[in-house]
Amino acid sequence: MQSLLDPAILFFVFGVAAGLLKSNLEIPPAISRFLSLYLLMALGLKGGFALAHSGLTGEVLRSLLVAVSLAVLVPLLGYSLLKRLTTPLDAAAIAATYGSVSAVTFITATQFLDRSGLEYGGHMAAAMALMESPAIMLAVLLANQLRTSAQLATSGAHGATLQLGTPASTPVGKLLHESLTDGAQLLLLGAMLVGLLTGEAGKAAMQPFSGDLFKGMLAFFLLDMGLLAARQLPQLRQNSPWLLAYALLAPLLHAGCALLLCLVMQISAGNTALLMVLAASASYIAVPAAMRLAIPEAKPSLYVGMSLGITFPFNILLGIPLYTSIARWAMA
């Protein structure tokens, strides 16, 4: 309950309430975009400063290895289950959404750990960046394979290829380039590099920007996220109850996978909590944008509605304190 009394979380709850009441309160898209970029830049700087202080250790390398492993394991696990609940292409898009990460969920979790006094490594910002693209690549490969199989089946049944207008396979190289050069991800990594190079002197110089303003900016952004989450809720009524159950249960399953890997790799409690948060989160910005290009046959109302309307509020309100408590207990 104490976590719900955090000002940033309360602003999220307020945003959800305002959205459900159909208030005309809204954050202009340009301001929302600025807030998102600010949070990524500040997070990157904090991570760089912390990494400059700690250096490259065994814990850092093991944490990054766990992050990459989860980025591959989670979407594959999700697709194997989701293809039984919906169409294969929708399953691939949803699996990519849940296999990638939510930067805002991660940033909120770092604030929760700071308030709880649980230490974590600055390299976890790099872990978040590493976990964003593999799920997109896997989804593209799955979609291309499904389309090829459909073409072969149609060709065999009718003695002809598919009609013109059938979505073509998406070049993996093109999407990989777009994912790796995405502005938000580049800003995060660039800010982290700046923090790493400038160290303590840079931290002192940037404290008013990346430290003092951070909490207020996060609260403002979570207000906007609350409004967006409320707008997704009406669309969820037309979806299968099994998919809605997946949106609630998948974060717990994925967090459990992260916990097992962290136990094996002997990761610290704070880093374990953040890896559990990352595994449990779902992308609602980067991956949906990529899926609209790569898998246009999939329904955006499905994968965006599930991630933003159910999973994001669950993680913000209940998941983060739950994963942190479990990580404390398991790594004690």
Q: Which residue has the higher pLDDT, 154 or 161?
A: 154
Best-predicted range by mean pLDDT (7-21, 193-207, 256-270): 256-270
Average pLDDT of 42-57? Answer: 85
Question: Quick check: 297 and 169 in contact, CB under 8 A?
Answer: no
Lowest mean pLDDT among 167-171, 200-204, 235-239: 167-171
Distance set, CA 3 to CA 111, 206, 317, 325, 327 (Å):
11, 28, 8, 12, 16
Fold of 28-147+169-330: Na+/H+ antiporter like fold (1.20.1530)
Supply the pLDDT for residue 55: 80
Q: What is the overall mean pLDDT for the chain? A: 86
> Nearest Cα to 89, choosing from 147, 164, 132, 169?
147
Runs of H (alpha helix) within the chain: 7-20, 29-54, 58-82, 88-99, 103-116, 124-130, 134-158, 172-180, 183-206, 214-232, 241-265, 269-280, 286-294, 300-306, 312-314, 320-330
Contact residues for 256 (Cβ-Cβ < 8 A; gap 6+): none
Burial 17-27 (b: 16+ CB within 10 A, else e): ebbeeeeeeeb
Q: Rounded to an integer, what distance in angstroms lies between the CA atom of residue 90 and that of residue 97? A: 11
pLDDT at 163 over 70: no
Supply the pLDDT for residue 240: 83
Average pLDDT of 4-24? Answer: 88
Q: Which residue has the higher pLDDT, 176 or 297?
A: 297
The DSSP output letter for 181 is T
Lowest mean pLDDT among 84-98, 157-171, 242-256: 157-171
What tens digit of pLDDT does each residue of 228-253 get? 888 888 877 777 889 999 999 999 99
DSSP assignment string, 30-63: HHHHHHHHHHHHHHHHHHHHHHHHH-S-HHHHHH
For the chain, what percent of residues have pLDDT higher than 70?
A: 89
Lowest mean pLDDT among 25-39, 76-90, 138-152: 138-152
Supply the pLDDT for residue 110: 93
Question: Quick check: 35 and 223 in contact, CB under 8 A?
Answer: no
What tens digit of pLDDT does each residue of 256-272 get? 999 999 999 999 999 99
Name the band, by pLDDT with cuts 50, 70 and 90, for residue 53.
Answer: confident
Supply the pLDDT for residue 162: 43
Q: Rounded to an integer, what distance in angstroms lies between the CA atom of residue 123 and that of residue 184? A: 17
Contact residues for 122 (Cβ-Cβ < 8 A; gap 6+): 46, 47, 48, 49, 50, 51, 52, 53, 54, 192, 195
DSSP assignment string, 61-81: HHHHHHHHHHHHHHHHHHHHH
Supply the pLDDT for residue 132: 82
What tens digit of pLDDT does each residue of 108-158 get? 999 999 999 999 998 898 898 889 888 888 888 888 888 887 777 666 555
Distance set, CA 117 to CA 30, 64, 153 (Å):
34, 23, 58
Supply the pLDDT for residue 50: 83
Supply the pLDDT for residue 233: 81
Amino acid at 117: G
Q: Rounded to an integer, what distance in angstroms lies between the CA atom of residue 297 and that of residue 291? A: 9
Burial 194-233 (b: 16+ CB within 10 A, else e): bbbebeeebbeebeeebeeebeebbbbbbbbbbbbbbbbb
Supply the pLDDT for residue 171: 61
Question: Quick check: 249 and 280 in contact, CB under 8 A?
Answer: no
> Nearest Cα to 12, choosing from 322, 248, 323, 308?
308
What tens digit of pLDDT does each residue of 281-326 get? 999 877 887 788 778 888 888 888 899 999 999 999 999 999 999 9
> In the structure encoding, which two tokens stand for residue 44, read together?
């990157």
Q: Which residue has the higher pLDDT, 2 or 130?
A: 130
Supply the pLDDT for residue 180: 60
